[in-house]
Amino acid sequence: MQSIEQRLARLDQGPFFASRIGVERESLRTTLSGHLAHTPHPPTWGSALTHPAITTDYAEALTEFITPPLSQPEAVCEHLLQWHTHACQHLTDEQFWAASMPCRLPPDDQIPVADYGQSNLGQMKRLYRIGLGHRYGRAMQVIAGVHFNWSLPETFWQHYAELIQSPESDWHTLRDVHSMGLIRNIVRFGWLIPYLFGVSPVVGQSFLASEPEQLRRWGKHTYYQPQATSLRMGDIGYQNSTDAGLNWSVNYNSVHDYARSLLQATLTPSPAWQKIGVKIDNTYRQLNDHILQIENEYYSSVRPKQITHNLESPATALVERGINHIELRSLDVNLYAPIGVTPEQLYFLDAFMFTHLLAPSPSLDQQEQLASQRNLRLIAQQGRRMQLPLERTGQAVNHRTWGLELLQNMTPVCAWLDQQHNTGCYTQSLAAQCAKIEDPTLTPSAQLWSEIQHRQTSFYEIAADYSAQHRRFFQQHPLTAAQQQQCHQISMQSEQQAALIAADDSLSFDQFLANYFAAITRSASQLNLLATP
């Protein structure tokens, strides 16, 4: 099995193909006083169903900004800045919440669910979210994060197959095999991300349904864990119910195994969700009563992704066309950045992904997978402890020792990427992350908690202050006439596209849903995804 250095040496023998990176940044719309906005998705933004750059996620107020795949972190941030600015300048008496953990919330049943219009597709997207509300509570649907999308172009894989003398039959197979290897490594080592970039060690009282045993109280409205990095990724954050899963788990050892395990959950009834009911008094409560309504309900820190066509299942799309990109989902919103992320973070994540693509990645058994999940929770809830033992290959290891080893493994990759891009940004970002391992007070979670203590204030007040600062930043940031025209044109086109989708509907919603799930079962059967492993 070739080492990282050996594979880098082989890459030097061929042309350089830059990775493609993109970001999905979520942010709540709130009132200027820091309460959840109850207004609908602003019509001047275009259609949330079809807009390529501004949509909603779970709740109606949870705005999501999406970039296309780009080759430079600065270009990603410029794209986010343009659309954040456009969106902010079309808001009246509202702002974007700067933190991952939510603002002051109303009672759970008063949190508006995202609305995508009256087309069958729009109704299905909304019903899925209504189902999530019944299963997990609507407050879970207003937690915000940043998703980092990463891929390499086809030309890279074509040359890489030749350079490493791959036993795989073609570059498509090579891409999928090595991409799943990268995903397994992220499962193993992904605890490093909330340690370095977590900025949710505190949470507001209104998010919590009851007095939490594992959290301490600060003042009247704030709860915290003393050494937490990312409560969003911990026990109080959004996660799938263990009661509903019937000992089900995802298999990351191949694209086929991954797709089969997800489809199994979407086709297997769950006694816990059967109690909710699917359609009561002629009103739908969820898409179905299975372990997962659809594959996207499975919450994980990383996903293989393929663009779906014509209501195609994500799992069958992966098997049919392979992995288009990998989505890293464990990044908190950066409270200190108006667009929720910085170029420095993106440089590091690019190198992190490239390193673990090149690194060896044996199969992942259930024992190691469960240990990795425990490691992630420990870091989320106690990551700034000086002596925190994690589990590695069945043995206890100090998280700082392990973290430095992981970062040192990135050194040759960062140097190589700096050389290829004619920059020093990769190595500089790596050095900044090494400093956080050496000194936990440099982590953003420690900085936020220190600021709350120093100012003797609450989480709500701190987050509201940064939200107001970001609002002023966007209001004072001018868009060029060309940018304004582009934003307006894309928003108008999204409205036209949504109208065409609605006009195309010829089935009742009941029949639409029945056809959708029948097509999934049929495709899964044709692809041999329903057979017992």
Domain 4-526 has CATH 2.40.160.10: no
Flag residues of the chain having pLDDT under 50: 533
Listed in order, strand segments (DSSP E) in 360-442 are 389-392, 395-398
Ordered alpha helix ranges (H), 89-191: 120-136, 154-163, 171-189
What's residue 176's pLDDT?
Answer: 96
| 3-state secondary structure at position 298 | coil
One-letter identity of residue 125: K
Cβ within 8 Å of residue 237, ≥6 positions away: 140, 143, 230, 231, 380
Tokens of 324: 């288009």
444 Cα distance to chain centroid: 19
Q: Are 35 and 164 in contact (CB under 8 A)?
A: no
What's residue 458's pLDDT?
Answer: 96
* 71 to 289, 293, 306, 377, 403: CA distances (angstroms): 42, 35, 19, 32, 27
Q: CA-CA distance, 434 to 519, in Å (whole number)?
A: 49
pTM: 0.96
Encode 83-118: b = buried (16+ Cβ within 10 Å), e = exposed. Answer: bbbbbbeebeebbbbbbbbbbbbeeeeebbbbbbbe
What's residue 162's pLDDT?
Answer: 76
pLDDT digit string (tens) for 183-201? 999 999 999 999 999 999 9
What's residue 533's pLDDT?
Answer: 47
Q: CB atoms < 10 A from the CB of 512, how many?
A: 17
What's residue 526's pLDDT?
Answer: 83
CA-based Rg of the chain, rounded to a whole angstrom?
Answer: 23
What's residue 246's pLDDT?
Answer: 57
Tokens of 338: 């108006």
What's residue 311's pLDDT?
Answer: 81
What is the Cβ-side half-sphere exposure of residue 229, based on CA atoms within 13 angstroms? 29
Nearest to 142 by CA among 111, 117, 116: 111
What's residue 259's pLDDT?
Answer: 94
What is the Cβ-side half-sphere exposure of residue 417, based on CA atoms within 13 angstroms? 25
Kindly compute the dihedral angle of the four CA atoms of residues 215, 221, 227, 231, in this order, to the nearest 10 degrees: 70
